[in-house]
Structure 1
Amino acid sequence: MNLSGSKQYTAIVFLQNLLLLFDICVNSFASFARNQSIELLSLYVIQDFCLILALTLLLVNFFATYIFQAGLIQLLYVRFRLTLILCVVYIILSISLHIWHMSIHWYQPLIHYWTKSFHSLYSIQRTVAVMYYYFYKRASLRIGDPRFYEGSSWMEQQLNLT
Structure 2
Amino acid sequence: MKLSTPRYTFCLLSQLTFMFCDLIFNCISLFPKSRDGLLVLFIFQDLFLVLSITIMLITFFSTYLFQAGLVEVLVRKFRAAGAVVVAYVLASVALHAVWLLEKWADPRAVSTPLLIVLFTLQRCLSPWYYFWYKRAALRVADPRLYEDVDWISSQPPPR
Q: TM-score range by the shorter chain?
A: over 0.9
Q: Say what the alpha-carbon RMSD is for the aligned residues.
A: 1.6
Aligned length: 157
Quick one: which amino acid aligns to residue 76 of structure 1? L
Is 1:153 aligned to 2:150, yes or no? Answer: yes
Q: Higher mean Cα deviation, 10-19 or 78-87?
A: 78-87
Cα deviation, residue 112, structure 1: 5.7
Query: After the TM superposition, which residues 5-154 of structure 1 pair with which residues of structure 2 at under 5 Å, given as runs?
Result: 5-33=4-32, 35-106=33-104, 108-109=106-107, 111=108, 113-154=110-151
Quick one: which amino acid aligns to residue 106 of structure 1? W
The alignment-based identity, stated in percent, is: 34
Q: Please say if residues 102 and 109 of structure 2, whose CA atoms lie closer than 8 Å, have aligned partners that are also in contact.
A: no
Between the aligned partners of 1:117 and 1:41, the Cα distance in structure 2 is 19
Q: Which runs of 4+ in 1 moved over 4 A?
A: none
Task: Give the unaligned 5+ runs of structure 1.
Answer: none
Cα deviation, residue 7, structure 1: 0.8
Cα deviation, residue 36, structure 1: 2.0
User: TM-score, length-normalised on structure 1?
Assistant: 0.91
User: TM-score, length-normalised on structure 2?
Assistant: 0.92
Between the aligned partners of 1:112 and 1:128, the Cα distance in structure 2 is 25
Between the aligned partners of 2:86 and 2:29, the Cα distance in structure 1 is 22
Q: Higher mean Cα deviation, 114-123 or 53-62?
A: 114-123
Higher helix share: 1
